[in-house]
Structure 1
Amino acid sequence: MTRPGDETPPEADPHQGPFESLPSSVPDDDLVDTFRLPGEPARSTEAAPVHPDGPAAPSPEDHAAGQAGQDPAASAGASGPPHDGRPAGQGVSPGPTDDSDGAPAAGSGDRRTSGAGRRRDEELYAPGEEPREVDPDDAGWSLLGAQDDREDAQGETEEDPVAAERRRLRRRRRLRGIIVIGVLVLVIGSILSRVIGGLLPGDAADYPRTSGDTVTFTVNDGEGAILIGRRLEEAGIVASAEAFRQAAEMSPGKHIQPGEYDMQEQMTAEDAVESLQGAGRGAVAYVAVNRGERLQEVLDSLAAATPHDRAEFAEAVSDPQKYGLPEQATTVEGYLASGEYRLPLKDSAEDMVRALIDPTFAELEKMGVTDPDEQFRTVTIASIVEAEALPDDYPMVAGIIENRLKPDNRETDGLLQIDATVIYGLGERRLQFSSAERRDKSNEYNTYVHKGLPPGPIGAPSLKAIDAASKPKENDYYYWVTVDISTGETKFAKTYAEHQKYQDEYRAYCRENPDIC
C-alpha cells in the first residue's frame, strides 16, 4: 500500500487546457456571482460544455463517480494531490456527504465550469470595459415581480438575514404598488363612467304621471336647465334631473324665465318643462316693485321677468286713462304700487300693468278717497313722503307738506322746497344738486321756484305712504331734514333759522361720509 506522501504526482493530462494548471485564490462561486448582468439570476455550478480549444469535458467515469457521491480521484484510489496539480487542501471543495442526497455542496464545482462561465461573462462586455459588480438593490423592479421571484428562488437556501429582509421589503413594495395602481384604475374608471354616462342618452328616472298638491318653485336669475333640474329633483318635483334636462333639450318652448311658478308635488319631466316655459297652467313670473321706484325702472323689471319685451310695456302704459286715472295724469307714475307680484306668464302686458295698479286704487278706497282728482293729489303727496322720509315719519312729513300748501303760509310762501321733486325733474338719482339747478324754472318739478304740488307723482308709494297722505298728522312744523342718512335720523323745525342749524349738521355729515352723500 502506498502511504500518503510517497506517491509521485501524475503526469500532466495532454487534453487539459492551459488554465487547468493555474492556481486560483478566488472561489469559483464568487466568480460566477460577480460577473453576471443586472437582473440575471445566479448561474448553476454544474459543468457546461467546453469550447473545443478549452479544457476537456469531464469523462464518463467522473460523471458516474459524481452520481455516486464520490470524488473522481477517490474512486480511482488516488490519495495524492488533485488533478489540477494543486497541493491537497487548496482550492478543492470536499465531496458531498452521505446525507446530501447526492447534490453538490454549496460553492462546489470544478475549474472547467468556472472558467467557462467566466469567459461567457467577459464576452458580454465591450472590449476594455471592466465587469461591473451589481448591487442587489439596483437589480431592477417590475410590477409582476419576475426579477424578485428569480432572486428569491436563488436565495431560498440562504440563511443570510439581510437577504431575507431585502426579499421581504421587495414583496411589500410590489404589493403596495399593485394596490395603488388598482385604486387609481377604479377611481378613473368611475369618473369616466359618470362623464360618459352623462353625455349619452339613457333611461333616466321619471314619474309616470303628474300628481299632487300645488307647490311654489322659484327660478333664480341666471339658472339654466341643468341647475334647475337638480333643484327640482332635490324638491321631489321631478324624479331625476337627467330626465328634466333631456326633456328641456327636446322641447321647442321658450327660455325659462326667472320667477315663481305654481307646480305640482310630482310632475313628469315633460310637464315640468312645459310649466316653466309658460305652457303649463301654473307658470308665473316674480316681479318686485321697490318703494320709491320710478315708472321706467318698473317697466324694466317687468320686461326682464316676463315673456313681454320693453316696447310692449311702454305701449301698455301709454294711455293712463284706460286704467281709471284722471285726465290730469299723463302717465301711470305713482299708481304702480310697491310690493311683490306673481304674474301669470300667459297674461298680456296690459293685464300685468293693471295687476300693479289695482292695489293702489283698493287702498285709496279703503282710506275713503274715492274722487279721481283727490286720489291723484293723495298719490302725489304719498310719492313725496316715500322719497323724503322713513316709514315712522310718514304721517309727520305729510302734515308738514299740508302746512306748506296752506294759503296763509308765510314761512315758505306756498313753496314746498323739496329736493326729491327737483332731482326727479332732472331725471337722475342723487341727493344733492347745484344752486343753478335750484333756480332752474324750466324744471317743472322744481318746487323751489314753482308753488304747490309738482305736476304728478315722483315714484311708487307704499300702501303705508298712501295711508299717511290720506290721514296726515297735524303739527306746527314747516321744515325737516335728515341729519344722518345711515340711521335716518330726522329733525323738524318751525322756523328757517332753526332749520339752518340742522342743515349744517347734515352738511357736516356729508363731508365725513362723501361716499354716502
Structure 2
Amino acid sequence: MAGAKRGCLAVVAFVLVLMLALAAAGAWWWQQRGFADTALTPDAPSVVIASGDSFSTVLGKLREAGVDEGNDLQWQLLARQLDAAGKLKVGEYSLDPAPTPRELLQRMRQGKVIQHKVTIIEGWNIRQLRAALAKASPLEHKTTDLDDAALMAALGFPDQHPEGRFLPETYVYQRGDSDLDVLKRAHAAMEKELASAWESRADDLPLESPYQLLTLASIIEKETGLASERPQIAGVFARRLKMGMRLQTDPTVIYGIGSAYDGNIRKIHLSTDTPYNTYTRAGLTPTPIAMPSRDALRAAANPAPGDALYFVAVGDGSGAHEFSATYAEHTAAVARYLQRLRASRQAQQE
C-alpha cells in the first residue's frame, strides 16, 4: 500500500514537473515570438555587413546602431530558424522604417540591400556628369584624380573621347559600388542604344558611322526644347548636311567656348573659329557635345521628312520652334521671336 502511494506521488510529481516544463517552454515560445515580430527601435538609419563579418559581429553592429531588443541567444535561435546563420549577405540594410528582427534577418539572408540612385540628365556634358557623380553618396569615388583620357582608359576604352558616351538614365547602385561601376553601365547602355539606332537608320541618312549618329544626336538633344520636335530638328540638320549647308547651331559654339561660357552667346563667339563652331565650319563637330537621350538617337537615325531648313524658338515659354523652308520665312519668324522677347521683357519691368 505504501509502495502504491509512493508510486502515485512520483507520477504526480512527474506530471507537475512536465506541466511546469511545458509552461516554461510555452512562455519562452511566446517571448521568442514576441521578440521576432516586434519592430526594432534603432538609432541609426542603416547597418552595413562587411565581407567576413561573423554573426556575432553583425549583432555587435546592430547594438552600435541602437538595437537593444533581444539577447544574443534569441537572435541566434531566430537566425537558425530562418536558415540565416552564416548566410547573411554583404551590403547595407535599412533600419528606417524599423523592421522586426524576423524581417531584418530575412532581408540580410536574401541580400535585399539599400538601393541608391544617381541620374544622368539628357543633354549633360562630361563635366556636368562627372560633377554629379562626385557629389553622389555613398558612391565610392575612384575617378576624382583622373583626367578624361585616363577615365576612358580605366573604363577600357582608351581611344574614345568621353563626350556623349554615357546614356542618360537613372542608375541604381549600392554601398560599395564606385563611380567607375556606374560609368561602365552607362557606357554599355549607350553602346547598346547607339547600335540599335544605327541598325534601324533611314536609308538616305547622310551619316557614315554610328559615331556620326551619336554626334548628330547630341546636337539635336541640345537644340530641343520640346521633346516632340526632335525628329523635325533632326530633319533640318539632315537636309543641311545633304546640301552642304553649315549647321549654324548655337549649342556647338557654346561647347567650343567651354568653361569660359558665361551664359551669353555673342556675335564674336559666332565668328571666332573653333573646331566646334558650326557657323564657321561645315559638317558635324569632331565629337558629340552632350549626352543624347534614346529619343535623340532615334530622331537622328530617322529624321522627319519635310522641306524646312531653318528653325527659331517661338518665344512663348513652351520650348517650341517655328520651322521655315526659306531664309525669307526664317527672317520673318526671327522678327516675331524678337518682338515676343521684347514684349516679355517690357512686361517684366512693369
**Please, what TM-score do these two structures have when normalized by structure 1?**
0.44
Map 1:407-426 to 2 at 5 A.
409=243, 413-426=244-257
Which structure's relative contact order is higher, taking Cα pairs within 8 Å and 6+ residues apart?
Answer: 2
Deviation track 1:458-505 (CA, whole Å, cap 9, x = no partner) reads: 111111111111111222111111122511221111121211111122
Moved over 4 A (4+): 243-249, 261-265, 321-327, 370-373, 428-432
Cα separation, 2, equivalents of 1:363 and 1:491: 30
Identity %: 26
For structure 1, the 5+ residue unaligned runs are 1-206, 212-235, 252-260
Residue number among 225, 240, 244 corresponding to 1:404 in the alignment: 240
Q: Please say if 1:391 is aligned against 2:227.
A: yes
C-alpha contact (below 8 Å) 1:336/1:360 kept by paired residues: yes
**Pair member with larger Rg:** 1
Cα separation, 2, equivalents of 1:250 and 1:374: 57
Residue number among 460, 469, 474 corresponding to 2:291 in the alignment: 460
Secondary structure at 1:450's aligned position in 2? coil
Secondary structure at 1:351's aligned position in 2? helix
Cα separation, 2, equivalents of 1:366 and 1:313: 34
Cα separation, 2, equivalents of 1:354 and 1:242: 36
Aligned match of 2:309: 478
Secondary structure at 2:131's aligned position in 1? helix
Cα separation, 2, equivalents of 1:357 and 1:456: 16
Map 1:279-428 to 2 at 5 A.
282-306=113-137, 307-309=139-141, 311-312=143-144, 314=146, 318-320=150-152, 327=159, 329-330=160-161, 332-369=162-199, 374-389=209-224, 390-406=226-242, 409=243, 413-427=244-258
Instruction: Please state how far the C-alpha of 1:375 moved relative to its aligned partner.
Output: 1.8
Pair 208,364 (structure 1): closer, same or farther in 2 beyond 3 Å: farther
Pair 370,283 (structure 1): closer, same or farther in 2 beyond 3 Å: farther
Instruction: Please state how far the C-alpha of 1:433 moved relative to its aligned partner.
Output: 1.5
Deviation track 1:112-171 (CA, whole Å, cap 9, x = no partner) reads: xxxxxxxxxxxxxxxxxxxxxxxxxxxxxxxxxxxxxxxxxxxxxxxxxxxxxxxxxxxx
C-alpha contact (below 8 Å) 2:142/2:180 kept by paired residues: no
Q: Which has the higher helix share?
A: 2
Instruction: Please state how far the C-alpha of 1:302 moved relative to its aligned partner.
Output: 1.2
Cα separation, 1, equivalents of 2:326 and 2:156: 41
Q: Please say if 1:449 is aligned against 2:280.
A: yes
Pair 289,262 (structure 1): closer, same or farther in 2 beyond 3 Å: farther
Count matched residues: 260
Instruction: Please state how far the C-alpha of 1:386 moved relative to its aligned partner.
Output: 0.9
Deviation track 1:278-312 (CA, whole Å, cap 9, x = no partner) reads: xx862443101111111111111112114333744
Pair 303,449 (structure 1): closer, same or farther in 2 beyond 3 Å: same
For structure 2, the 5+ residue unaligned runs are 1-33, 48-60, 66-91, 202-206
Secondary structure at 2:150's aligned position in 1? coil
Cα separation, 2, equivalents of 1:296 and 1:415: 27
C-alpha contact (below 8 Å) 2:247/2:282 kept by paired residues: yes
Map 1:83-162 to 2 at 5 A.
none
Residue number among 257, 268, 276 corresponding to 1:436 in the alignment: 268
Cα separation, 2, equivalents of 1:368 and 1:343: 29
CA-atom RMSD, angstroms? 3.8
Cα separation, 2, equivalents of 1:446 and 1:374: 21
C-alpha contact (below 8 Å) 1:326/1:376 kept by paired residues: no
Pair 459,268 (structure 1): closer, same or farther in 2 beyond 3 Å: farther
